[in-house]
Structure 1
Amino acid sequence: MTLRLLSWNVSGLNNPRKRVVCKNLLKEWKCDIVCFQESKVSSCDVAFFRSLWGSPFIDWATLDAVQSSGGVLLIWDKRVFEKLDVIVGQFSVNVLLRGFC
């Protein structure tokens, strides 16, 4: 299995046009795991994540932004990985995943 991982400093996903660009690129790149840093998003729901990933087979972990700084979104394909544990720190998101082979 080849892992397709993307780590991207997006500098703000509050802009709907930027989310469309990200969604189109993610569809083209076919990533298994995506980490967005500096998302500047203070809270997320299922609709927000699906607007980025474009597939119902997702799971995620987040570190919400504080006012207009920070924010980490970690998204993965549930058909490829199972979430075993999540720890969200003050500046980080740690997720233990098990791959399906």
Structure 2
Amino acid sequence: MNLINWNCQGLGNPRSVRALQDIVRRFNPKVVFLMETKAKVRHMERIKNRMGFANGLTVPSRGRSGGLALLWDRGVDLEIKSYSKNHIDAVIKEQDNNFYWRITGFYGHPETHRRYESWQLLAFLNNQSQLPWLCLGDFNEILSISEKEGGTIRTQSQMERFREVVNYCNFQDLGYSGSDFTWSNMQEGNDCISLRLDRALANQEWVDRFRSLKVHHVADSTSDHHALLISDSTSKRYAKEKRFLRNVGKE
């Protein structure tokens, strides 16, 4: 099962919609989680239909910011459990063997002083189920200084709070292939800042079940974020574009 996670930075621009359509066409995902759609329910419904998805849940934007969407294929047995402006939580039933697992799309608060609310939410979600769990999204935080290049040094306390909730949830980082960073401020030279803000986390039960699934960073041409492709495919299509390739490499 292919899954896509993308902070699309708005779907009001036709170019962004075409970029999403291209990602869907290239990778044929069964589930797509979108952040920062900056879209209302009716607009997202049109986009869902254009992408060819039978089902979807939209958390509408507030003004010109925010907005989440979870889209899934007709053949996916998915039940929404809860949602907010920062998450969508669902359970998927594998039709061939009645195996249940949990998927949570997560968007961390962009404001640093409110990020503790994100970690409280993640800890709360952890206590709601014992199912094998995949949590993916833009967490707006990094786990170590190696996940940032350029700009001021991230404080250890800021990263430690994120590490604490990852450990509390018994998550493993699923790693990645592709660029070391998933976000760039798109500046040049000394002004360029890049971070790995987007990631996929899972508990041991999920990892044991889906060992063949890998995370790929997929370059795009309209958002300052890479998309994440979670797939068991060995295809190299995810690497055909390298939009901020100059940033590859860790501190």
TM-score (norm 2): 0.35
> Any conservation in 2 of the 1:5–1:34 contact (CA below 8 Å)?
yes
**What are the Cα deviations for residues 74-93 of structure 1, in whole angstroms up to 9, with x where unaligned?**
111121x1133342224211
Match among 16, 19, 25 for residue 17 of structure 2: 19
CA distance in 1, matches of 2:57, 2:11: 16
| Larger fraction in strand | 1
Aligned: 1:65 with 2:64: no
CA distance in 2, matches of 1:99, 1:77: 13
Residue 96 of structure 1 aligns with which residue?
91
C-alpha deviation, 1:46, in angstroms: 3.6
**RCO (CA 8 Å, sep 6+): is it higher in 1 or 2?**
1
| Larger fraction in helix | 2
Runs (5+) with no aligned partner, structure 2: 97-251
Measured on the aligned residues, the alpha-carbon RMSD in Å equals 1.7
Give the letter aligned to residue 61 of structure 1: L
SS of the aligned residue for 1:74 comes to strand
Residue 32 of structure 1 aligns with which residue?
30
C-alpha deviation, 1:9, in angstroms: 0.6
**What are the Cα deviations for residues 57-96 of structure 1, in whole angstroms up to 9, with x where unaligned?**
52111211100111111111121x1133342224211122
Give the letter aligned to residue 91 of structure 1: N
Percent same amino acid at aligned positions?
A: 20
Runs (5+) with no aligned partner, structure 1: none
Is the alpha carbon distance of 1:69 and 1:82 closer, same or farther for their aligned partners in structure 2, counting shifts above 3 Å? same
Which protein shows a greater Rg?
2
CA distance in 2, matches of 1:47, 1:76: 14
CA distance in 1, matches of 2:58, 2:27: 22
Moved more, 66-75 or 81-90: 81-90
Residue 47 of structure 2 aligns with which residue?
48
